[in-house]
A and B are shown apart, each in its own frame.
Chain A
Amino acid sequence: MILTPNILARLGALGLLTVLLEVSFFSRITLLGSRPAFAVLVVVLLGLLGGVTIGAVAGFSIGFLIDCLIGSPLGSTALVLILVGYLAGAYRERATGRAGRLGIPLICVGLTLIAEAALLAIHLLLGLSGPFSPAVIPDLMVTALYAFVLGLALNAGLRRLLSPALIDESDRQSNGPVAVFGNRK
């Protein structure tokens, strides 16, 4: 990802908007017994578009703000989002060939589930959560479904927002590890 002041401003605004939407909207709605992990999806997509560094920094920033606003242990959400941002970026930088039409939403689903598991693990380690109950599995399935659907929509939106910064796939193919995503306009 090519970072210019304009792109950095867009990323900053995106991060702020993500935090506000997460705490004011997505965390306060329930549909079919669960809700979308919006912040996780944004971080994953930023990692898929920008690489490891972008994914990790976005994860830390968004996670830190969310921890401050919802009162959870400072650093817990940040740690989880760093993880998923890093994994998404790592996939972007190491994967060869196109992910396919369903690749992005499936990656979103997988990393969302990893984020939920990581958050549960952190809460268990900190003594903030009770033992895992299989009763939450249906809720996780619904969250995964949301990740699939929202992943498709958000990917298109983020591509449009960050299109000046995205690296062309053809350039990456000729220069090194094949870029899976990105078009420079």
Chain B
Amino acid sequence: MLALLVIGCFILLTASFGQRSNFIQSTVATVFGPLEEGASRALKPARDLVNWFDETFEARGENARLREELEEARLQAIAGQAARQENDQLRDLHDLSETGVIPSGYEPVVARVIARSPSLWTGTVTVDAGSSSGVEVGDPVMSGDGLVGQVTAVYGGSSLVLLITDPSSRISGRVVPSGVQGILQPEIGNPEGLVLGFLDRAEQVRVGSSVVTAGWRTETRASRFPPNLPVGVVERAPLIEQEASRQVFVRPLADMSRLDFVSILTGGWRK
């Protein structure tokens, strides 16, 4: 009996090998089809109950796994955002060289801001380029948007930069295109603002005018910054202020609160 059954199986296997279905299977499937369908419908609630338990167990594990993946994705997104921000800043610094903002003779050295003065009222940052990169005291420092400050101390691998918003900062500036010149200094009570005072002419300065470094030079003396470095935009220019105090209010182009990368202009005046 056993041998017959086994031989029968091999015959069936051989006969049906390679075929998707055959007469026997289709006949049996047709006959049992209604029974199968009835049983399937009748047992659906029981199947769903069992599968619900399985899905619940799986969901717990999957929940934990998804939480981990979400956390990882969040960290990656943050890192991606930070990388994009850095990329934007570096691209702006690169554009400085391309657009001719940097005067000829200067070699820009890109540096990362590694420390910042904690006080709102003192404006210094530390960057990771020092004498080993050719940085010297007095070198102008720019961001992708405009003038940031000047190097006031140099070490082997880092430098201290005095920001233009520091209370002790003084820069000779010039309004373009009018040519009115004055002294740029921080606005009292506004750590993010500048005042262009001691205007040398009575000519009215308009809001929206650009302010650049004057960059004057004589035989014996020169200003600390080369000419035409973008500094800010005239934000407020009340006539009363202009006539009485001979000053206008300037908004710096560089965002001092979001400095990550700067460009130190080495060489230049010293050549």
The interface of chain A, by Cβ under 8 A from chain B, is 16, 19-21, 23-25, 28-32, 52-53, 56-57, 59-60, 63-65, 67-69, 71, 73-76, 78-79, 82, 86, 126
Contacts and interface: CB of A to CB of B under 8 A. Distances in A.
Contact of A79 (B9, B15, B57): B9
Contact of A24 (B6, B16, B40, B50): B40
B53 A31 contact: yes
B17 A73 contact: yes
Interface centre among B1, B2, B13, B54 (most CB of A within 10 A): B2
A24 B39 contact: yes
B32 A68 contact: yes
B5 to A, nearest CB: 5
Q: Is the contact region of chain A dominated by helix, strand, or loop, or is it mixed?
A: helix
Given A24-B40, A31-B57, 4 more contacts: A68-B28, A68-B29, A73-B16, A76-B9
Interface in B1-35: 1-2, 5-6, 8-13, 15-17, 20-22, 24-25, 28-29, 32, 35
A75 B12 contact: yes
Contacts of B20: 71
Nearest to A125: B13
B202 interface: no
A82 B46 CA distance: 30
Contacts, number: 96
B47 to A, nearest CB: 5
Nearest to A19: B32
B13 A79 contact: yes
A32 to B, nearest CB: 7
18 contacts: A20-B35, A21-B39, A21-B43, A23-B36, A24-B36, A24-B39, A29-B47, A31-B50, A56-B5, A69-B32, A71-B20, A71-B21, A71-B25, A74-B12, A78-B8, A78-B12, A79-B6, A82-B6
